[in-house]
Amino acid sequence: MAASAIRPARITRVLPDSIAEEIGFEPGDALVAINGQPPRDLIDYRFLCADEDLTLEVLDTRGKTHQVDIEKDIDDDLGLEFETALFDGLMQCNNACPFCFIDQQPPGKRGTLYLKDDDYRLSFLYGSYLTLTNLLPQEWERIAQMRLSPLYVSVHATEPEVRSRLLKNPRAGQILDQLAWFQAQRLQIHAQVVVCPGINDGEHLATTLQDLARFHEGDVPAVASAAVVPVGLTRFRPPGDELTPVTQAQARQAIAQVQAFQADCRRRFGTNFVWLADEWFLIAQQEVPDEGHYEDYPQLGNGVGSIRQFLKAFQQSADDYLPETVSPPRTLTWVVGNAVGHAFQPIVDRLNTVQGLTVRLAALASDYWGRDLTVTGLLTGHDLLLGLRDVSDAPNPAQNEPPSQHHALGDALLLPTVMLKPSDSGDPKDTLFLDDLSVAEISQRLGCPVIPIDDTDALVRACCCDLPDDSFTDLQPAAGYWTPS
């Protein structure tokens, strides 16, 4: 991309006690160039800042340009954070996959929900999946020169005609040649296969897994791991998309097929190599595998082993922080997707052994997306209002009456932050669900405080902390709670 298309990198935060703070950088300043080269993205920024001697061109908030010379130890970080990792814009998808979640959303929501990320840089930095169909020769060259590995690739099928049909793109049929390129460059990918019944399952899935396994051989396997994920469909998906949801029988068949392939991989490679997303077992109404099955969790971003990891993490958090009793007594409602309701019941049972603590599990399906089986991250504000309204419709009590005695939801809602995204305002109270409803609005309409929880430590501490009042408190570094006004 031409330098003229690279925007100055807008600074949003200057880390305390950092080189940047000492020099006098402020949020709102913009980084234009490092040693004369405009950084295209966070990758360039990190690479260029590895030098000991830096000359920075900086644009301050008043529009004035400054030159800043810095001497530092090699690899010392400057302590700057930016509003985006991509200073030259997002590389968007040029495919038309019918199962794309972006195309399965209703119109009229905030613009960021409709951005189709297919950017290899975000794949390298954050583990997002890309298809490799939009890369120009210079981008392939950059991946090789900068050793951007591993990347995360949505393969779906290795047969050219099947993959082209799924992605609605004739260039999608080049996937085997592209995997051979990674192998020749001694670079790695983690592969994803979204299974669509009747299109890339059965024999096609067998071919895909066999092809991917061929690239797992050698001292630097080109395909480090593969995840098999069931297609997720919403009621907003385009008409005539050829897709059908995975049934219980199909889930059980896929589990048996992949588990047989895993056994063969263990004999050949000493590893499962390919893993099933937890959702297969939830659809099939089968128990997820034991913890040891997941090895080092190479496909956690695809929901592979996330339930087992959460259960293990909770046990450690309970051992570290859970007391025998809490005072004053409190009742809390923990909201999760109904897909994990059964799996998380042991956590609720353990929490309820604490004297004075009552935790109720509200395992909700998503009416908004039209999904009978719903993971927690897809629940919306609409789903909470609909699913909790029957237990939250209670009159306001006298002020001196404990909340848990009058409100069926209890003293507060425990809300996993996986449901939430920051708003454009940056105000924590404006944090949004996928349907653009804010947490503050949900708290007000349900008449109940909301405690955001982002991990098992936060879950346990929220159960044992002081009850909400009319202000924020530090339950976790980036959390507090919202109270209805």
- The residue with tokens 């949900």 is 442
Say if residues 48 and 28 touch (Cβ distance below 8 Å). no
Say if residues 287 and 311 touch (Cβ distance below 8 Å). no
Which residue, 150, 134, 130, is CA-closest to 192? 130
Query: Residue 393: is its pLDDT beyond 50?
Result: no
Which tens digits make up the pLDDT trace of 117-127? 899 999 999 99
Q: Which domains does the chain have, with CATH numbers?
A: 3-82 (2.30.42.10), 102-304 (3.20.20), 310-464 (no CATH)
The long-range contacts involving 247-256, CB below 8 angstroms and separated by at least 24 positions, are: 247/197, 247/283, 248/283, 248/284, 248/285, 250/197, 250/201, 251/280, 251/281, 251/283, 251/284, 252/284, 252/286, 254/195, 254/201, 254/205, 254/228, 254/230, 254/280, 255/280, 255/281, 255/284, 255/286
Range in 99-113, 279-293, 316-330 with the lowest mean pLDDT: 99-113
The percent of residues above 90 in pLDDT, for the chain, comes to 75
pLDDT band of 236, cuts 50, 70, 90: confident
Query: Residue 176: is its pLDDT beyond 90?
Result: yes
Say if residues 79 and 19 touch (Cβ distance below 8 Å). yes
Beta-carbon contacts of 78 under 8 Å, excluding residues fewer than 6 positions away, are 18, 19, 20, 49, 70, 72
Which tens digits make up the pLDDT trace of 66-94? 999 999 998 889 999 999 999 999 998 98
Beta-carbon contacts of 241 under 8 Å, excluding residues fewer than 6 positions away, are 98, 99
Instruction: Tell me how far apart the alpha carbons of residues 200 and 197 are, in angstroms, rounded to a whole number.
Output: 7
Which residue, 296, 292, 291, is CA-closest to 309? 291
Range in 255-264, 420-429, 441-450 with the lowest mean pLDDT: 420-429
pLDDT band of 471, cuts 50, 70, 90: very low
Which tens digits make up the pLDDT trace of 360-370? 999 999 999 99
Query: Residue 413: is its pLDDT beyond 50?
Result: yes
pLDDT value of position 108? 75
Which tens digits make up the pLDDT trace of 195-205? 999 999 999 99
Mean pLDDT of 282-310: 94
pLDDT band of 427, cuts 50, 70, 90: low
pLDDT value of position 74? 87
Give the H/E segment covering residue 55: strand 53-59
Range in 1-10, 55-64, 171-180, 443-452 with the lowest mean pLDDT: 1-10
The percent of residues above 70 in pLDDT, for the chain, comes to 89
pLDDT value of position 268? 96
pLDDT band of 385, cuts 50, 70, 90: very high
